[in-house]
Amino acid sequence: MISLSALMMPLRFTSLVLVGLSSILLAVFLGHAVGVYTLFFILPIWMMISWIVKYGFALLEAAANGEEKAPVASTEMLGPFGDPRAWTLLVYAVAIVGGLWFAPVPLRIALALLAVLLLPLIQCCTAIGDEFLDAFDPREWWRALRGLGATWVLLVAASLVLALAGLWTWRSPLPVALQFAVLELLYLFGQALAGTVVHARRMELQFSARNSVERAREKVDIGRNLERQRVFDEVYTSVRVRRDDQAVRALERWLADCDARQAETDISALVEAGAQWNEPRGYGSVLRHLIGYCCRARRPAQALAIAERALLMSPTFAPDPADEVVMIARYAAQTSRRRTAVQLLDNALAQARGDVRPVLEAARRELP
């Protein structure tokens, strides 16, 4: 979806200050660049052109990367140095103007139409490419065309409208400074529109934007994985010093803040990580707690998977309390794992005391 906030970046205070200042200075410099004084104003004129061209590229890149705050018009944009991709559109415009100047009259309309059709692809390749020449590579054009899809038509139509508006402005009786201001705004709007479309089609273009839902989710996942590893380390440390109660409390705090999807993933990760510990006794305590959590969450499949892992480690393993054993055993029997169900119940009976034995014995007799 196209972001209106990003599209309106040319109307932000920073952009308007740049447009106003550069248009006035350009009008002044061009007005005095007459005769022998022309040489004195070539450099200032070039610096103003560099400023607005580089700012347009910065705006294109910012919009393509999902930013909605207008970039700062720094003085570093005045010089010819920096990212060469900033000059892509200027080189393209000079090439088109030169082609229109020297081409035969019958070919000028076709060349102008081709220029409008290619302009969105040039902008797209500039935004997502790494090198200056990527914007002029036909293979990159084809990639951009497939990624843009129907939005390419939107960009072509918008480019045509902006070009006609620019032509009308150039031929209008408006003051020179105002003409430059309007032309610069049209240029910036074209860059902002191209950037927002690139961001909206980033998945199809296989473009990894700096600010996107996917990148934000990735950052959250990375942070959460680091925190999860910290908890796992805390659990392992507690197990090593035989503080099983402390390890269980750390797990309880962690799982209490997880939603269902996260808890399932975290439990599986902890089971796999714990299998590498050289602490079978403490690992068994952790597994019993995880089985209890899964049973309370009504996830018998995961509870059974944990129990099967525990049985591989210790054939005499049994969950605790008895109702969890019965729940897992019944689910195992229902899913054609009667041997596992029998083993769990027999282990629980061997370790049972008091009034829980009748419950376990009844569940054992009920097995098919």
Peptide bond before residue 104 is cis, with ω within 30 degrees of 0 = no
Q: How does pLDDT run along the chain (368 residues), one tens digit per residue?
A: 667 777 888 898 888 998 999 899 888 887 766 665 666 778 888 888 888 989 999 999 888 888 888 888 777 777 667 788 888 988 998 898 888 888 887 788 888 888 889 999 999 999 888 888 888 999 999 999 999 999 999 999 999 999 899 999 989 888 989 999 999 999 999 999 999 999 888 888 888 776 655 555 666 667 777 877 887 888 888 877 778 778 878 878 887 777 777 778 888 888 888 777 777 777 778 888 888 888 888 888 888 888 888 888 888 888 878 888 888 888 888 888 888 888 888 888 888 776 777 887 788 788 76
pLDDT at 169: 93
Produce one character per residue of 315-349: b if its CB has 16 or more CB atoms within 10 Å, e if not: eebbbbebebbbbbbbbbbeeebeebbebbbebbb
Per-residue pLDDT tens digits for 195-212? 999 988 888 888 877 665
Measured at the CA of 27, the angle between CA 22 and CA 30, to 5 degrees, comes to 115
User: Domain extents for the chain?
Assistant: 4-209, 212-297, 318-368
pLDDT at 217: 64
Task: Give how far Cα 101 sits from Cα of 6, 95, 187, Å.
Answer: 36, 10, 22
Token pair belonging to 157: 């139509």
Helix (H) or strand (E) holding 255: helix 244-256
Task: Give how far Cα 9 sits from Cα of 48, 286, 365, Å.
Answer: 20, 54, 74
**Distance of alpha carbon 249 from alpha carbon 228, whole angstroms:** 14
pLDDT at 273: 80
Whether the CB-CB separation of 333 and 317 falls below 8 Å is answered with: no
Task: Give how far Cα 2 sits from Cα of 6, 66, 68, 151, 218, Å.
Answer: 8, 10, 11, 10, 22
pLDDT at 158: 92
What pTM, to 2 d.p., does this model score? 0.63
